[in-house]
Amino acid sequence: MSTLPRFHFGFPAALLVAGMLVASSETGCATEESPLLLSSSSTSTGSGGEGGGTTSTAAKNLFDALEPTLIKECGACHQKGGAADTPFLGDPDAPKPDAYAAMTSWPGFVVQTAAKSRLLTHSKSVEHKGTKPSDELAAALETWLTEEAKSVKDVSQEQKPTIPPFKPILSGFNAVYLGALGAEFEGMAVTFLAEELTPSTLALTEIEVHPTSNFGVKLTHPLFTVYAAGSTNGAPDPVDSFSNVTLELAAGQAGLLGPGLVVLTNWKPNARLSLAFEAAVAIDPNGAADPNAMPCKASESFSLNAAPSFVPCFACHNGKDSSANGAVDMSKLMSDPGAACGQILNRVNLISPAKSQLFVTTNPSGSATHPFKFGGKAATYNAFKTSVTLWINDEAK
């Protein structure tokens, strides 16, 4: 067990590349002429070179027609910086605001059965803190989502355990949940940064696997498959990059997937990705988290500097919301801060604290799909980051 890979160590190469990629995307304004930022709006009439022919034009046209109503009814809260913290309508201040890209990358929106889309079920539910869509908008959304779903391959009958096709968030942080593999995988995730290097090359970096605090996981031979926009015919990673990778992680422990890096040379703009495994097994450590997984060295600093800052997180990560707690178990924050510290440490980057998932997912101006971003308040977020970083620096000493 002592040989289990731990992502805090031994990934200089991946980190370096990722660092470069992030640095280039963080300069932010390399837009207009940059081929990295080709978006769906950059025409379906073929000037996009490698455009792959069948952009799902029908679906995109339906979206374009409903977009003004959507922005009118939902934009105030659901654009970046809006009150909802869930900016699925994108950034209105971007040089090329692209609600379509944000919507089609949002988890649970484009699914096999449009009526089960989180976009419709949640917005119409009593739990939704915002306004319900008008009947007109709801109908248009369902028609659009139905068209969109035609190009999402149904992988539920695949021989190998497979995560359904999803559209990666480009130049950003992605958390892909493994719940589709079975109940024991609920809350487990593969996380990575995605960057289009050229219209036909997608780099995934800092690829990490996060089991839950209740189950460990063993993943064999992961394989990414690319689905061009509008197509259900997948093209697997041509070099089968992870063919000899087997990753075993104890409950509550995170690790890099292989070298933590893959460059897909068969990428297409606006394509989707699926992820399959030769085998995926959840490992039950008799219901108890591995007590040795990720112990904190600086627990005193954690209690002093960090724990109070996680109180807003505790609202969801307290054990009652299984998806939040499956992702990061903070249920012992009050009763046993040391245990919570070990869980939180899994989402920390000791080498570059600012790149920690804790910060990336909760940054009000970031594109991650996490449902809490300090109500859009940058100052509160910065205060959180400052005090938590005091602990991270102690942990890294």
Q: Distance (Å, rounded) from C-alpha 153 to C-alpha 159? A: 14
CB environment 153-181: b (16+ within 10 A), e (fewer):
bebeeeeebbbbbbbbbbbbbbbbbbbbb
Task: Single out the segment in contact with ligand HEC by CB under 6 A; choices: 4-12, 72-80, 245-253, 268-276.
Answer: 72-80
Question: What would the x/- binding string for ligand HEC be over residues 317 to 356, using CB under 6 A?
Answer: x---x-xx--xx------------------x---------
Coil vs helix vs strand at 98: coil
Nearest to 272 by CA among 219, 232, 222: 232
Does position 377 interact with ligand HEC (CB under 6 A)? The reply is no
- Gap between the terminal Cα atoms of the chain: 25
Task: Find the binder of ligand HEC among 78, 80, 153, 332 (CB under 6 A).
Answer: 78
Task: Find the binder of ligand HEC among 177, 192, 215, 242 (CB under 6 A).
Answer: 177
> What is the DSSP track for 154-165?
--TT-SS-EEEE
Question: What would the x/- binding string for ligand HEC be over residues 92 to 111, using CB under 6 A?
Answer: ---------------x----
- 340 secondary structure, DSSP code: H
> What is the DSSP track for 297-336?
S-HHHIIIIIGGGGHHHHTTTTTTSHHHHHHS--TTTTT-
Does position 208 interact with ligand HEC (CB under 6 A)? The reply is no
Task: Find the binder of ligand HEC among 55, 86, 231, 266 (CB under 6 A).
Answer: 86
Q: Residue 189 CB, nearest distance to ligand HEC (Å)?
A: 6
Q: Kindly report the backbone phi and psi dihedral angles of residue 201, in degrees, each rounded to the nearest multiple of 5, phi listed first.
A: -135, 120
Task: Single out the segment in contact with ligand HEC by CB under 6 A; choices: 20-28, 71-79, 142-150, 286-294.
Answer: 71-79
Coil vs helix vs strand at 267: coil
Q: Residue 214 CB, nearest distance to ligand HEC (Å)?
A: 15
Q: Distance (Å, rounded) from C-alpha 114 to C-alpha 141? A: 9
Helix (H) or strand (E) holding 206: strand 201-210
* Residues in 294-323 that interact with ligand HEC by CB under 6 A: 312-313, 315-317, 321, 323
Whichever of 200 and 318 has its CB closer to ligand HEC, that residue is 318
Does position 133 interact with ligand HEC (CB under 6 A)? The reply is yes
Q: Residue 195 CB, nearest distance to ligand HEC (Å)?
A: 18
Q: Distance (Å, rounded) from C-alpha 162 to C-alpha 226? A: 13
Task: Find the binder of ligand HEC among 13, 16, 83, 239 (CB under 6 A).
Answer: 83
Residue 254 is encoded by which pair of tokens?
A: 């995170």
Does position 76 interact with ligand HEC (CB under 6 A)? The reply is yes
Does position 6 interact with ligand HEC (CB under 6 A)? The reply is no
Number of C-beta neighbours around residue 28 at 10 A:
11
Q: Distance (Å, rounded) from C-alpha 248 to C-alpha 12? A: 20
Question: What would the x/- binding string for ligand HEC be over residues 137 to 156, using CB under 6 A?
Answer: x-------------------
Whichever of 92 and 371 has its CB closer to ligand HEC, that residue is 371
Which stretches of the chain bind ligand HEC, using CB under 6 A?
73-74, 76-78, 83-84, 86, 107, 118-119, 122-123, 127-131, 133, 137, 175, 177, 189, 312-313, 315-317, 321, 323-324, 327-328, 347, 357-358, 361-362, 368, 370-372, 384
